[in-house]
Amino acid sequence: MTSLFINNQEVEVSPGTSILEACREHGADVPYFCYHPELSVAANCRMCLVEVEGWAKPAASCCTPVSEGMKVKTQSDSLAKDREMVMEYLLIHHPLDCPVCDQGGSCKLQDYTVEHGASKGRYSEPKRAVVNYELGPFVNTCMTRCIHCTRCVRFADEVAGTGDIGILNRSDHMTIAGIVEEALESELSGNLPDICPVGALLDKPSHDVSRPWEMSHHQSTCTQCPNGCDISIESRGDEVMRIRPIDGSPEPWICDRGRYVYDAFRSDNRILKPTVRVDGKLDEATWDEAFEKTASLLKGKRVGILFSADWSIEGQMAIRLMRDALFPEARVAYGLHRRDMRKFAFEEGFSMTTAQIEAAEQVVVLGSDLRQRLPLLMQRLRKRGRAGKPVSRIGAMNYRTNMDLTSDALVRPRDWAAVIARAMDQVSEVGKTAAGFDGWKAAVSDRHEAGKILADALLADSCALVVGEEIRAHEDAAALIHGLDLLMRACGHAEADNDGRNLIPEG
């Protein structure tokens, strides 16, 4: 640990920590615009200046690492003057439209102007205006408000992996624009308004509908994919106005599907009342009429129950109680895409957290379009790849990706068994085997290089398998998942709670 003094208080932080991170960790207030804990350091805004004893000039705390015995001051008369000058520069061209800006009331620029800015600006020349670029259906732009913190550019490049926002020109003529002047390709684009510290990028669906202080905040969990992100539902009265990630949550982003699902609440096609089919046509009915009709249809007949995998736990429990009480012989299914109804060797769901998958020595994605199915897991794997850790993919389709894969193999759907058998053959050569391998020997084929990729990953000390819809919906899914289970057990990955077997649920 490195020991330093912040405002005459001795603290300890990890070596390599920046002064700003040390101050945030120990409760010392330092203003900043361009810094974000999930993005690289840009040091654009110069708002985070601090004084370091023995240094001739103030230091930008976001890009200055701590050193042993360093003495830092975050408040002084000279720093107050420096921050006032930085604020004056940032406000030179900023329009005075706080009363009509969606960011008003939750704006860092507004807050810091009150706290650190001068009461009157000296600039009296004509202000610069900037053309607004179209960034698609989710992001509204007012680029005259932009202070060039470049958070959005770094997000598009480092997190989303699309790089479709960039910088044009330089200095006072710098502008932020979409590279191709069309809709953003990222499935995480709704996070851009969240990270913009001013009102340059705004949420388009909720534009001009409510003020921050008018909305109530309700913590919840997103149900749009198995990731189960923590979300804050913001409402005014009985109407949902927008959905955002919870500040301080382990996962700082949410995908566009989870963010904008509330639009379905307002759909004219939502079923709000029961309907009964009469002469081939669905007519509205009372609840009593609907229950009476349902009961008459269920009497003395074999019953099958089909419900959505996206349904709430409470709804699923109600179905189970009804089945147990009224139709104990009824079969229950929760999806339309599963063809093999035999019991799987390991259940649908994740045995590892997203962070544990990211930290595993090897990660292999088997037959899944993660970018569409689990955008936040894909983002974690991209982050892992940027750190130089291996990520491999095996599948029947060359799904669009936003990262460089260590290995990427295409297999025909009918060849999944041969891939698993080849992997068994490979791990057997180094003494890893399990009861049941013999039954797969007939399927071994040297031409399936994907089996070697799978085996090499499984032989690592820790391995995360992410098994997707191509295998789960396969006509022989139970056998394929049984084979993967044998492989994991043979390689010693099935003992711990986080055993590496992750089967993406339907939904």
The pLDDT score that the predictor gives to residue 311 is 76
Domain C-terminal end among 34, 65, 90 = 90
460 and 488 both lie in a single domain = yes
Q: Which helix (H) or strand (E) holds 294?
A: helix 287-298
For the domain that residue 459 is a member of, what is the CATH number?
A: 3.40.228.10
For the domain that residue 16 is a member of, what is the CATH number?
A: 3.10.20.740
For CA atoms 451, 453, 456, 462, the dihedral sign is negative
CA-wise closest residue to 192 among 132, 254, 100: 254
Burial of 263 (0-12, 13-18, 19+ CB in 10 A): exposed
Query: Which tens digits make up the pLDDT trace of 100-141?
Result: 999 999 999 999 999 999 888 888 888 888 888 888 899 999
Sequential DSSP letters for 363-394: EEEES--HHHH-HHHHHHHHHHHHTT--EEEE
Query: Which tens digits make up the pLDDT trace of 90-108?
Result: 999 999 889 999 999 999 9
The pLDDT score that the predictor gives to residue 42 is 93
Apex CA 199: angle with CA 240 and CA 231, to 5°? 35
Query: Which tens digits make up the pLDDT trace of 52-67?
Result: 999 999 999 999 999 9
In the block, which residue shows the tokens 């994907």?
A: 450
47 and 147 both lie in a single domain = no
Q: Which residues pair with 218 in a beta bridge?
A: 233
Query: Which tens digits make up the pLDDT trace of 348-366?
Result: 888 898 999 999 999 999 9
Residue 165 lies in a domain: yes
262 and 327 both lie in a single domain = no
Residue 283 lies in a domain: no
129 and 243 both lie in a single domain = yes
The pLDDT score that the predictor gives to residue 492 is 85
Residue 344 lies in a domain: no
133 and 79 both lie in a single domain = no
360 and 493 both lie in a single domain = yes
How many Å from the N-terminal Cα to the C-terminal Cα in the chain?
A: 46
Number of domains in the chain: 4
Domain C-terminal end among 266, 288, 313 = 266
144 and 239 both lie in a single domain = yes
383 and 494 both lie in a single domain = yes
For the domain that residue 215 is a member of, what is the CATH number?
A: 3.30.70.20
Range of the domain at 306: 302-336
- What pTM value is reported for the model? 0.88
The pLDDT score that the predictor gives to residue 349 is 85
Contact 195, 151 (CB under 8 A): yes
Sequential DSSP letters for 132-178: PPP--SSEEE-GGG-----HHHHIIIIII----EEEES-GGG-EEEE
398 and 489 both lie in a single domain = yes
Burial of 151 (0-12, 13-18, 19+ CB in 10 A): buried
389 and 412 both lie in a single domain = yes
Low-confidence ranges of the chain (pLDDT < 50): none
